[in-house]
Amino acid sequence: MFDYIVVGAGSAGCVVARRLCEAGYKVQLLEAGPADYSLDYRLHMPAALSHVLANDTYNWFYHSEPEPHLNGRRLYCPRGRTLGGSSSINGMIYVRGNPGDFDRWAALTGFAEWDYEHCLPFFKRSETTTNGVDQYRGREGPLRVTRGEMNNPLFETFLSATEEAGHVRRDDLNGAEQEGFGSFDRTIYNGRRFSAAKAYLTPVKQHPNLHIETGCQVLALASEQGRITEVKYLRGKQQCCSSAAREVIVCAGAINSPKLLLQSGIGPADELAALSIPLVKHLPGVGKNLQDHLEVYVQQACTQPVSIYPALKWYNQIPIGINWYLFKRGPGATNHFEAGGFIRSSTAVDYPDVQFHFLPVAMRYDGAQSAGTHGYQAHVGPMKPTSRGSVTLASKDPLAPPIIRFNYADTEHDRAVMRAAIRSARDIFSQPAFDDYRGDELAPGAALQSDQDLDDFVRDHGESAYHPSCSCKMGQDEASVVDARGRVYGFDNLRIIDASIMPEITNGNLNAPVIMLAEKLSAAILQDAQ
């Protein structure tokens, strides 16, 4: 028997497994997907991120239900299915979120220990970086965080244009102030993706206390009288089960964590009854409060041949790949999202609620489409959406994908912030710094100016930023699923530790706050164990 069973080897699961095994506890780490094979360039070459998103090899490859406010389109929802989870397939941008996000967590939940002051030490504990000042940044953590070289002239042009538009340039977007523009921190080190598996698991893979099992899809949690007695899973086609002397810790992510609870009879009683799943614990908040970032691409043609458009050609990708494989240098060694920032959509908000990612090419995030010419773009969208969705079961079959409804752009607030984001991007691209590069606006297109025009554009072209969260929220009201220490209400040995327990989505990409959250709750587990 193991002391702890960790379900899911994603960003949170890697942290938890590492911290518990190092503390002397016997840990079983169950991952549904395959190992993060070292020879598969798709997982390790930063520029190959679109390749790993293109199929289901390392990816649950989920899609939403038809989105009612996006013309009934089903949006792609990739989730990592390998060691490292989504940190092995994401865009590698390291953004902690705004300090105000965590103060809001404390206010929303009534848990004072989740304010920024209490979270900052765990951000610092997780990282090693040469950036910023010691008051805010970590120097001895497992996760390597670096900055891009910003060799392409369009990056400096973009940052100069943001200053001309009246915005502040920041030396560290993860430091004292998030508002403004600058170079992004990234989980890239020595030209390779530095996933949570690379950071936390690789150094302890041979640890005698850690038992990593890939290809093991957890089907359900068996329980008796408020205690999880067995974790049931498939290893290949073989039915297996494990027991934990201390706790079962679910780290399956914002989609699969609520799915697993529902499969186990934990969730809204009416939903479970409709599928003839025996009720174990009525928790109406399981699968509710789902949040994500919606974004659009504001794209501009570039009149000089300085963008990375030629790198999209197959015949250029061969030497790029060879250079990366041999030397870990060149265009293959970066995610190309090297600059961006945060602004307020209006003077009425307390801190930034719009994010920019700048890319020196005009293409989709997943590589499916490019503009067919030299260009550049900003990914923009609301960071604090008020629209809410859900994760529910499609059937009793635990292998069936769940029903995911994000309900993007449901509120006028979210639509107004998106319009402000698009207009702010246009304003930056209109500044004198871009005069030598600016061609026609490719998207939305100069003809689209009215509120209605922009709303229609978003309905046609809005895309997920791949940040699902908040579907098993932390708090104290009846819709809450876990307490301040990640413990599932009604159980004495079950926790959830991943993006699903966020009460509200944070400002920016989610990998960094998930790792912080896992560090913080790992410490809580060890305190409770004593």
Catalytic center residues: 467
List of residues 6+ apart from 62 with CB closer than 8 A = 76, 77, 78, 79, 255, 401, 402, 404
Q: Is the peptide bond before 402 cis (omega within 30 degrees of 0)?
A: no
Helix intervals (H) in 4-115: 11-22, 41-44, 49-52, 99-109
CA distance 44 to 473: 32
Chain-centroid distance of CA 526 in Å reads: 26
In DSSP terms, 441 is beta-bridged to 300
Question: Three-state SS for 162?
Answer: helix
DSSP string across 482-527: B-TTSBBTT-SSEEE-SGGG-SS--SS-SHHHHHHHHHHHHHHHHH
- Could you tell me the CA-to-CA distances from 19 to 23, 164, 211 in Å, in that order? 6, 46, 14
Decide the pairing of beta strands 192-193 and 62-63: unpaired
d(CA 487, CA 167): 42
Q: Which residues contact 133 (CB under 8 A, 6 or more apart)?
A: 172, 175
